[in-house]
């Protein structure tokens, strides 16, 4: 088996799984209970929250543990709308469906949703963004890394524009945390999930950096935060701590490895006249998006599956028959956007994996 879909999901690291099992056995009480066992559990959650607060330079009171990035994205967009008279939200043309869907919901309830275009490098148009922000703008939500192309957005420049224009800024950093270092100073809300960096599925985080008032999606009383009710799953929090620590400790080592692996993959794909590489040269190292020219992409993917090679077309949360919105945005070509393959690698990918993939890929396509 050769797995090349790490941008969709990563396997749980054994150390993360061990920390989850340990915490499940050790912390048996509800962290909201006032007896010593409950306080012990609460103190452990607070310890992790304080670590996150220090790392992201944010308020520990604004750390919201959720079921995943989709809930986090919905929470910030819908939650902000409840306490503001401003009725405009600005997003990019490549946001995840969990950003687009709540924005569409709000647009049916009197909100104006503006979409910022991409330039030829896959970056958002900063001049257009600055023009679009007005006195009625509640929120700007731009992903840190485009999930299809791997383009790294200019987060610092965006945050500077938002601050200067008086708009709140949220970034969905799900494809970035644990993979690339980004300056998040000036960002008001940050979303991420550990299953993208070898942590557990079914868990996510929304960082409300400045503890701005938002309305909960789930009501039922204070838990670890005012913004989401429910009994905290302490083992998930402990596992998050372990996954993030591992990812950040080994970040540089893994980046160097992936840069070399990416270079091998890209240089070989560039030699094929039926391959168009969509990802920019300075995209995140774990992602290369390509389009096939005059080939039946779906048929090729099925044949790759049969050979034990697993990868994706667009993102895992896209409709099966949808065009790649990222590729369409940068190329303007429906043909290229409808024939994409996203190859995503990790430190678990070997050079032998890449050579086998390239060999089988050429045999199928030629």
Please tell me whether residue 251 adopts helix, strand or coil conformation: helix
Q: Could you tell me if 278 and 326 are in contact, meaning their C-beta atoms sit under 8 angstroms apart?
A: yes
Q: Give the integer Cα–Cα distance in Å for 96 and 271.
A: 32
Residue 114 has φ and ψ, to the nearest 5°, of -105, 140
- The residues, any chain, with a CB within 8 Å of residue 132's CB and separated by 6 or more, are 90, 114, 116
Q: Give the integer Cα–Cα distance in Å for 226 and 61.
A: 8
Q: Quick one: which H or E segment has residue 242?
A: helix 234-249
Q: Could you tell me if 115 and 91 are in contact, meaning their C-beta atoms sit under 8 angstroms apart?
A: yes
Q: Establish how many alpha carbons lie within 13 A of residue 309's alpha carbon, considering only the half-sphere containing its beta carbon.
A: 23
Q: Give the integer Cα–Cα distance in Å for 125 and 326.
A: 14
CA end-to-end span of the chain, whole Å? 22
Of 103, 162, 317, 365, the active-site residue reads 317
365 is catalytic: no
Q: Give the integer Cα–Cα distance in Å for 366 and 357.
A: 14
Q: Could you tell me if 204 and 66 are in contact, meaning their C-beta atoms sit under 8 angstroms apart?
A: yes
Q: Could you tell me if 12 and 21 are in contact, meaning their C-beta atoms sit under 8 angstroms apart?
A: no
- Element counts in the chain: helices (H) and strands (E): 12, 12
Q: Give the integer Cα–Cα distance in Å for 119 and 159.
A: 19
Apex 191 CA angle, 49 and 60, nearest 5? 20
Name the nearest CA neighbour of 4 among 329, 366, 241, 358: 358
Adjacent-strand bridge partners of 291: 276, 340
Please tell me whether residue 18 adopts helix, strand or coil conformation: helix
By annotation, the residues acting in catalysis are 317
């Amino acid at each position: 088996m050769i797995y090349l879909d790490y941008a969709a999901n990563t396997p749980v690291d054994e150390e993360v799984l061990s920390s989850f099992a340990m915490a499940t056995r050790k912390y048996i009480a509800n962290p909201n209970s006032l007896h010593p066992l409950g306080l012990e559990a609460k103190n452990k959650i607070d310890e992790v929250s304080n670590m996150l607060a220090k790392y992201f330079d944010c308020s520990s009171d604004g750390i919201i543990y959720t079921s995943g990035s989709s809930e986090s994205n919905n929470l910030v967009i819908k939650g902000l709308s409840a306490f503001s008279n401003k009725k405009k939200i600005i997003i990019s043309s490549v946001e995840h469906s969990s950003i687009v869907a709540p924005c569409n919901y709000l647009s049916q309830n009197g909100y104006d949703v503006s979409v910022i275009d991409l330039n030829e490098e896959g970056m958002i148009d900063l001049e257009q963004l600055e023009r679009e922000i007005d006195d009625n703008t509640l929120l700007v939500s731009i992903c840190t890394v485009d999930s299809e192309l791997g383009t790294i957005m200019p987060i610092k420049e965006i945050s500077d524009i938002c601050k200067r224009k008086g708009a709140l800024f949220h970034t969905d950093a799900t494809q970035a945390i644990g993979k690339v270092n980004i300056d998040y100073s000036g960002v008001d809300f940050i979303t991420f999930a550990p299953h993208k960096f070898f942590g557990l599925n079914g868990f996510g985080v929304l960082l409300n950096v400045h503890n701005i008032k938002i309305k909960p999606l789930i009501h039922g009383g204070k838990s670890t935060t005012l913004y989401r009710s429910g009994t905290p799953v302490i083992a998930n929090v402990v596992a998050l701590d372990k996954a993030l620590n591992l990812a950040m400790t080994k970040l540089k080592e893994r980046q160097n490895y992936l840069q070399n692996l990416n270079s091998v993959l890209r240089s070989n794909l560039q030699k094929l006249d039926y391959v168009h590489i969509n990802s920019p040269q300075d995209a995140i190292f774990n992602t290369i998006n390509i389009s096939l020219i005059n080939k039946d992409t779906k048929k090729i993917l099925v044949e790759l599956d049969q050979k034990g090679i697993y990868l994706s077309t667009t993102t895992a949360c896209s409709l099966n028959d949808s065009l790649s919105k990222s590729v369409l945005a940068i190329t303007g070509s429906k043909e290229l956007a409808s024939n994409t393959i996203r190859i995503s690698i990790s430190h678990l990918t070997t050079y032998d994996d890449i050579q086998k993939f390239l060999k089988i890929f050429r045999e199928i396509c030629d």
